[in-house]
Structure formats: structure tokens, C-alpha cells
Chain A
């Protein structure tokens, strides 16, 4: 298979998978789960087969349709997208293992729709990752919103539908109202929307407009959840936990920050943006989001909502790292996408496992649960430590790079924000760890043990990945360094 075919196949596999899942679901649940497994394994195989080529500096690219002159559906694989696709496809497999345990353990309805939409969402994610220009990216970005809507609204009761409406409303209105005009503006000025090393806008735009266009992009890409367009993420927590875990800690939200990073690097160009004074606000907006979201997280009593606000803060880490506009920080942005993904998916898996085993959703209910669910809570602890950035977890690596970038740029705001938010992260995670491990359980609670085996297996895997990423992050950094080396 040539790399060009591999790109297309990677997008088509989950589509075919969705169809197969929908059909197999009519016959038997086991067959359907087998379809999911086959799809995700073959997706990993195809996506990861592109890795060696990328490591050698290859940039395979393919055009599907020239929709209009200058406007085409085309894919190009570059390091950022490769990393994102590899991450999403890899975690999908683990998440599928977890989903089977969770959905069956919970006796959820409409499981076929759930798994089929999940596959669709993955196809959209790969499309976002491999998109070769703004138009293609936008196409798959919208597809991702639409395919995840049924997942968020899964439960189907009035409250869930209301939350799903917020989800869809915020994401669609920002993307149509702000993102699309920004894309059109870019095409009008640059005549193209291709992601090009060094950017395409240099010399074609002046100062106040640069800041404005950047704002249209950043707030138009609602999936990045930069305040004030973050409301959809807590709303999305009504979804079943595997959705929150893979989509609202990895695929969907990372699609947002990934897109912002990609636009900063390949549309504006780091150097061009660094010289533009009107682009400085982005750093402050991201810093504000980090601090505020962490403060809000302090006050949450529901586990999933706390994790959601923590995600909002962590996403802005990526945005802030990208906005520092220095090579080391750009690498840090990419690395943080991975590190946060491993840690946060573990935390969500644990939250879901707790719910399946005990139906507990609030933090104060967790007293002493560590003894009943030692595996789950150990994984939870590792995830939480990674969020704070304690070695030996992945969170430490990315913080290191972002801080290094901030020092390189002599950016005091960024340095201060990282320190302050580390303190805040510790302030909302450590008390949980304390009550989980050291407080006594209330008398008369219901008896329960660990969650179903598959769920526990999945969260142990991701917890190990969190630690492994601390030890073996070389290839990722090598790959992502190409992004900034390309800038010379």
C-alpha cells in the first residue's frame, strides 16, 4: 500500500466499520464488538504504518476532489497530524475494550448506535488530523461535531437532550459564525488555504487585522474550549463515560487545540505571528482560561464535571504553549496533547469504572473507595499526578518543554501561569486522593468490588502509558521537532 492510499484507507476504514457495526448489531452483540475490534486494529495498522515515513521527513499527500478552483479536498500528513492520528487511533482500541465493559456493565440501551457513531467520529478525527488545507479540515471538523452529537444525547431524556443542544449549539454556531468567516478571509487574502511550512499569510496582512483573524480562528474553533466558548464541554459530560474519555478528553477537544496549533504554525507562521503585536492577546486569553477553569474546578463536587473543567484548563496549556511562539514551546504543545491524553483518559476511565461498580458520581462519596477498587484508584492516582505534572508521569515532560519555551521567550506571564496552575491542580486533585486512600468508608454503603474486567484492563493500560511516556518519549519529540526545524 502506498502512503497515499494509506491516507485514504485510514479515513475510509472507520466509515466502513461504522456500517459493519450497524449491520452486525442486528445479528448479535458479540459480532458487533468484533467488528469494532477489527476496525480499530486495522485503523491502527494503517495509521501507524505511516510513522516510519514521517520520521524520515516524508510528507505524503493526496488530492481527492478539486471542488472549485483553489478549493480542494486534499490530505497531507505532517508531524502534528501524524501524532494526533496515531494517538486517537491507538486510544480508540483501548477505549473500545473499555466501552464494552462499561456499556454492558451498565446495561445501556442503543449500543449499536453508540458504537457506530463512535466509529464515524473516529473517521472524522483522522480526517481532521490528515487534512491538507483549511477547507478539508473544516469539513471533517463539522462532521466530528455532528457524529458526536448522538453520543452526547445518548441517554435521550429531557435533561440530556438539553445538554446536547448546548453542545451542538455552541460548537456549530462558533464554527459557522466565526471559524467559517476566518477561513473565507484567509482564502480571500492568501488565495489558498493549504497548510504550508512557514505560513501563507506572511506579508499579506497588517497588524490589527492579524489579531482579529486570530480571534476568529481561536474562538471559532470552539472545540479548543478557550473561555468564553467552553460551556459545551461540561454540558457534554452527560454522555456515557467512554465518550467523555475518548472524545472529550482526546479526539474532539484535541481536534480543537490541534487545529489552533496547526493554524498558528502552518497558516500564520510562528515568526510572522511573533512579530505581530496584535496577536499577543492569545497568550493572556489562554492564561486566563487556565487559571479560571482551575478555580472553577476547585469548586466542583461531581467527578466528571471536575474532570471537564480540568480538561478546559489543560487544553489552554496547549493553546498557551502554541502562543508562546517559540520552537521549544511548539514541541511542548504537541507533547502536551499526548501527555494529557494518556492522563485524562485514565481519569475518565476510572470515573466510569467507579460509576459502573458503585453508581457513585460525587467526590464526597469516594471515601475509602481505594480499598474496594485498588486497581482503578491506583490508575486514578497516576492520572491525577500526571495532571499536576509530577514525575515520573507524562505530564512532567510536557510541562518541562512548555516551561523551557517560556524561558526561551522570556515570557513571565506564561511562567507564572504554569506555576500557579500547578498549585491549583494539586489543590483539587490531592484532596481527592486523600479521601480515596486515607479516609474510612461510611457505614452501611453498598458492597461492591472492582468494575468489569475489561474496563479495569483498559484503565490499567492507559495508566501504564502515562508512566511509559515519561520514560520513552524520544520518538515523539524527535517527530515533533521536525515541525519547528522546518521553520529553519
Chain B
């Protein structure tokens, strides 16, 4: 099909070119409608690409007809397709739901700019994923980061400004590290195309600059991905951002950095650097484990709903990283699967939070008493997504945990210790989710909240659909599982 061949380019170009046009849509509501239409269109493109990839194709695209490695190459394989689904799905779902919440939090005349920034984040994120070229990844990373600073700081909460400043600083350091790494590799190989880079690294005689580059790139991306202990920007940025922005970013932003990290390490370095895989595993596995345990513990004692969930995100990133650090087919499958499932669970949770936040100004747990009586549907959706986050069987979260545990067991006796860690952290998740459930369902209502009723149907409907999807993909996970599995096969082929 002719159009199919152009889809990787359209995936990026559509939101990017729409972004400036959205600014012109001044009348209230039009900007939202335009941005939502673009996001839904992007999702449709991602679905089409996923269908093609499920058929076993890898969709390649050469910009302007210049062949790789000279021109700019785009490529969509199983791994990128899965992440594309997550990004565009998150963008479409959030925008569909966003209007009431955004209307409440952002003045009408600034909304077109805001939606335009949103589309820039979207195009940046998908750009990172479809690029087959290290420098373009950097460019798109900057586009998405700069635009996301605007989104986070765009709300009425002034505390977002210091939070975003911290994010800006750390994000810039991360991006710079990445760029230094790419520069060093370019110096030694003379290419920026990932596939070409992989081929030429083998010919490099002086390996030291490459090793330094690997270090810079890994740490830079770990910063962007909020890998423990480089995660300190996450809790405040998520907490003080406008609620809908939190949903969008929590569902996909850090995962894209993880995507690049995994892709770079598996596809470029592992093949040609001696013992790179061991260094990678030895460096990242302890961080993953520490992140899982410590961030879960922090979440257990956190009193603010959004901060609690943000801490939990850091722990969940640990799961994704843990799977990747097993260096095995099952481990990578688990990672890719958890990218998908965690986006579903955490996206759903933050959507429910956005519903709550629409009515409750103060999101500290002790202020939310009696919410279950006032907002029964929201709370029910929250519970379902919370169960998915815990990994209760029958929900999407269980599938990724099951795959991850099976992957861990391939490591022999050490594997059982890892299983113990995963199970302990699941129990910690029970504790922090249940603290919220008890607050919503059994705490005495705070005075002055008698007038509160259910959130607008628009947010509620999307939240409900996401909650149902959490159950659907827990019972019928075949499609994401197949994508995740092919992704793992590809990544390991790259490293062999």
C-alpha cells in the first residue's frame, strides 16, 4: 500500500505541522477540537503501523528519498510500534477527556498555545521513537522536553515553576550527556545512523572514546527516564503540573527515554563492545532493584495523592529496567510488556485523579474522605486501575508481572531472590494503593465538601474505558504480548 509507506513520516509530521495551526484557532473550544482530532489521527496511524508490523513487516522510510545512512531514516519495528501505540493512545485518550479539566485550570486565551505545546510534545515523542538516527533522536528529545516544560508550568499552580526549573536543569544535563556521547561516537565512526553505527563500531581501533560515549549515553538517558536515583525531578513535576498533563506525561514521557536507552544499548553497543552486556546489567539491575524498593517505600508514607502515584511511577520504571537487565528474551518481553501495561494502569489512575481534582482542590489523602459516596464511578475506576498496578490476576498488570517473574526464574537461585523482591514490592503496592482506597471509601468526609458531585461525563467516560481496558488486556493480552515478544526478538538479534 502506498500510503502505508509514508506513515512513519506522517506520524511525526501531522502533529508537528498542526501545532502552529492550532495557535490560530482562537475561538474557545476549537483549539481543543483541533488538537484532539490530530491526536486521534496519530493514534489511527499508530494502529495501522502496528497492524503492518504484526504482519511481520518493518516499515522503513527515507526522508526526501535520500537513502540511509546518508539521508534521514525513519523506521518502525515491533518495539517502536508498541511504544507508538502507548504514546499516541495516551495523547488521544487524555485530549479526549481533557477539556473540562483544562478549562478549569487554564485561561481561555492561553489555551490555543497550550494545545499547540501539547502537540509539539506528542510529535517530539513519536519522533524519538520513529527515528533511526541518533542525532534526530536528540532533536526530537529537545522538542518534546521544551514543550513539556511549557505544559507543566502552564497550570495555575505556581509551585510548578520551581519544579519545572529542576526538571529543566536535569533534563538539559541528560540531553547534553546524550549529545556528548553521540558526538564521541560520531567522531570515531563518522555516522549518526543507528544501524550504520552498529556496523562501524567494530572497525574502531581505539575503543576508549566509545566506552566513554556508552557511559554518557546511558547516564544521560537514565536521567531522562527517571531511573533511580536520578528521579528527583519526577515527584514535583508530576504533582504540580495541570492534572491532564500529568496523565499524559506519566503514561509515556519517561518510557520513551527508556525506549531509547534499551534500543541504544542493545542495538548499538552490545554487539561490538566486549562485556558490554555484563556492565549494562551490573550497573542497571541494582539501580532497578533499589528503585523498586525505595520508591515503593516512599509511596507507602506519602500523604499527597499525586506525589504518591509519582513515587510509584519511579518504582514501576524499575520493573521495566529490571526486565531489560536480564539480557534475555523473556526479560525484554517483560520490559516491553510493562511499558504498555504500566501506561494503562498509571494513565487510568491519573485520569481518576484528574476527576477527583476537578472537584477537590486539595489532593492530600486526609482531605478526600467520603469521595466514594460523592463520586462512585471515579472511585470504582480508581480501584480497578489500582488493582492493575498491584498486579492482581485478571488485570493487565498481572500479565507483565507474570512474564517478569518467569524471566527472573531463568536466573537460577538468584532468580528466586528477584522473585521475592518483585513480590515484596507488589505487597508494598497493596499498602499504598489501599491507603488511598481507605481514604476514598471509609474516611470521614471533611466539612465543606457536601456539594461535590461526580466529575464531568467527558473525563469520566474516558477514565471508565481505560479501567475496562485494564481488565480486557488482563484477560486477552495476546496483541501487546505478540508485539512485545517480537520486539524482544529484534533487540536480541541486534545484539547477536
Contact = CB atoms under 8 A, between A and B. Distances in A.
Given A65-B476, A156-B442, A177-B423, A184 B392 contact: no
B107 interface: no
Interface string B336-380: 000000000000000000000000000000000000000000000
A142 B393 contact: yes
Given A68-B403, A139-B393, A143-B394, A176 B423 contact: yes
A227 B476 CA distance: 37
A177 B438 contact: no
Nearest to B443: A161
A181 B417 CA distance: 11
B402 A71 contact: yes
B475 A176 contact: no
B297 to A, nearest CB: 16
A168 interface: yes
Interface string A112-153: 000000000000000000000001001100110010001001
Contacts of B393: 135, 138-139, 142
Interface in A350-397: none
Interface string B379-407: 00000000100001110000100110110
Interface stretch (B112-120, B266-274, B426-434, B455-463): B426-434
A176 B442 contact: no
Contact of B430 (A68, A176, A184): A176
A173 B430 contact: yes
B481 interface: yes
B427 A173 contact: yes
B434 to A, nearest CB: 7
Contact of B427 (A67, A150, A165, A176): A176
A172 interface: yes
Contact of A168 (B424, B434, B476, B481): B434
Contacts of B476: 65, 67
B419 interface: yes
B423 A165 contact: no
B442 A142 contact: no
Nearest to A161: B442
B477 interface: yes
Contact of B409 (A138, A176, A188): A188
A161 B444 CA distance: 12
Nearest to B420: A181
A184 B409 contact: yes
Given A139-B393, A184-B405, A65 B475 contact: yes
A205 interface: no
A141 to B, nearest CB: 8
A73 interface: yes
Contact of A146 (B387, B403, B481): B387
A67 B430 contact: no
A165 B433 CA distance: 12
Contacts of A68: 399, 402-403, 477, 481
A190 interface: no
A192 to B, nearest CB: 14
Given A176-B430, A177-B427, A139 B394 contact: yes
Contacts of B403: 68
Contact of A172 (B399, B402, B430, B477): B430
Q: Is the interface of A mostly helix, strand, loop or mixed?
A: helix
Given A65-B476, A73-B475, A135-B393, A181 B419 contact: yes
A71 B478 CA distance: 12
A443 B353 CA distance: 58
Interface in A326-345: none
Interface in A62-90: 64-68, 71, 73
A165 B392 contact: no
B365 to A, nearest CB: 14
A180 interface: yes
Contact of B392 (A65, A66, A146, A161): A146
A67 B434 contact: no
A160 to B, nearest CB: 8
B291 to A, nearest CB: 20
Contacts of B427: 172-173, 176-177
Interface string B459-489: 0000000000000000111100100000000
A176 B476 CA distance: 22
Interface in B73-103: none
B378 to A, nearest CB: 16
B475 A67 contact: yes
Contacts of A153: 441-442
A71 B477 CA distance: 11
A153 B443 CA distance: 12
Contacts of B434: 165, 168
Contacts of A173: 427, 430
Contacts of B409: 184, 188
Nearest to A177: B423
Contacts of A161: 438, 442
B51 to A, nearest CB: 21
B438 A165 contact: yes
A41 B382 CA distance: 33
- Among B387, B392, B403, B475, residue most surrounded by chain A Cβ atoms (within 10 Å): B392
Contact of A67 (B423, B426, B438, B477): B477
Contacts of A169: 430
A73 B402 CA distance: 14
Contact of A142 (B392, B424, B475, B477): B392
Contacts of A184: 402, 405-406, 409, 419
Contacts of A64: 475
B186 to A, nearest CB: 42
Nearest to A188: B409
Nearest to A141: B393
Contacts of A172: 427, 430
- Among B393, B402, B419, B476, residue most surrounded by chain A Cβ atoms (within 10 Å): B393
Contacts of A165: 434, 438
A43 B424 CA distance: 38
Interface in A438-463: none
A410 B455 CA distance: 67
A169 B477 CA distance: 28
A142 B394 CA distance: 9
A67 B406 contact: no
B34 to A, nearest CB: 38
Given A66-B478, A173-B427, A180-B423, 19 more contacts: A64-B475, A65-B476, A67-B476, A67-B477, A71-B402, A73-B475, A139-B394, A142-B392, A146-B387, A150-B441, A153-B442, A165-B434, A168-B434, A172-B427, A176-B426, A176-B427, A176-B430, A184-B402, A184-B406
Nearest 7 A/B pairs, CB to CB: A139-B393, A161-B442, A139-B394, A142-B392, A176-B426, A156-B442, A65-B475
27 contacts: A67-B475, A67-B476, A67-B477, A68-B402, A68-B403, A68-B481, A71-B402, A135-B393, A138-B393, A142-B394, A146-B392, A153-B442, A156-B441, A156-B442, A161-B438, A165-B434, A165-B438, A172-B430, A173-B427, A176-B427, A177-B423, A177-B424, A180-B423, A184-B402, A184-B405, A184-B409, A184-B419
Interface of B: 387, 392-394, 399, 402-403, 405-406, 409, 419, 423-424, 426-427, 430, 434, 438, 441-442, 475-478, 481
